[in-house]
Amino acid sequence: MDYETIDVTPLSGSIGAEIRGVDLSGAIGRETFSEIHRAFLEHLVVMFPDQHLSQAQQIAFARRFGPVMVDPFMKSPAGLPELMIVIKDKHETLAFGEVWHSDNSYLERPPLGSFLYALEVPAYGGDTLFANQYLAYQTLSPGLRRMLDGMTAVHNPLSYAKSISSGNFGAHRTMQLRNDAVMEQASRIETEHPVVRTHPETGRKALYVNPAYAVRFGGWSEAESRGLLEHLWHHAVRPEFTCRYRWSASALTLWDNRCAMHHPVNDYHGHRRVMHRVTVEGDRPS
């Protein structure tokens, strides 16, 4: 179906599209927003280059999709709890979230989508990879699909929290923790979600396990789960399921955490990268 109020250009054969012809800083009419939403559901990841957004305008656009949430671990600017500033400075070698993942999948209601706005980008590097989890599920063997359809996976943030507590986001880092009780908080969070979730808007099935937070299958030990989880993680990011986005300053990207994974590429040591992230709350996977 054609789009009448926006220009939509696919970035690959499997995932991602660039949207032009709309100014997100102004009022967005119902028809235009409906087409943006349709492109989002069709392409899983949509990029809006050449936007000039204040923090309030970015948050307001995200709220068109649903209630915004506050990250349980990372500190936000004063007075803007729903905004995360994602920074890697010139002297730093570790990047935030540098592994394939779906944001905050350990929550009871994981995010619907994440809105990342580029303020400063390096001269080269700092791209983000995205992977289509509809295709990851569809291309599994019929036998494996039948088995996974009835399974759950346990998600928790402990490995992420251990990385934080080891000093990766300590006082010497530009990004700061929300408080000093990261490990205590993380130890209390453990959620079980379907391995294959049904998208609440499209009705399509997507693989929903990621190497950052999925630690074992429901009723299985971690040792028993490891081999199959690793098989699924490798399968889920096959090149033909992915696209790679080269950021430009003032670009906003929105991705669907319910059916896509992403991986920021940490290949720009000695350069500064600054992003603003707003995250919209989703529903409980089913």
Spatial contact of 204 and 94, defined as CB atoms under 8 Å apart: no
From the candidates 43, 155, 262, 276, give the one annotated as an active-site residue.
262
Strand order in the sheet with 260-264: 242-245, 128-132, 260-264
Spatial contact of 269 and 88, defined as CB atoms under 8 Å apart: no
The yes-or-no answer on residue 2 being catalytic is no
The yes-or-no answer on residue 277 being catalytic is yes
The yes-or-no answer on residue 244 being catalytic is no
Range 198-201 contact pairs with CB under 8 angstroms and sequence separation of 24 or more: 198/286, 199/134, 199/258, 199/259, 200/258, 200/283, 200/286, 201/41
The yes-or-no answer on residue 262 being catalytic is yes
Question: How far apart are alpha carbons 285 and 193 in whole angstroms?
Answer: 6
From the candidates 43, 101, 216, 276, give the one annotated as an active-site residue.
101
Closest CA to 257 of 231, 226, 237, 285: 285
From the candidates 103, 155, 256, 263, give the one annotated as an active-site residue.
103
- As annotated, the active-site residues are 101, 103, 262, 277
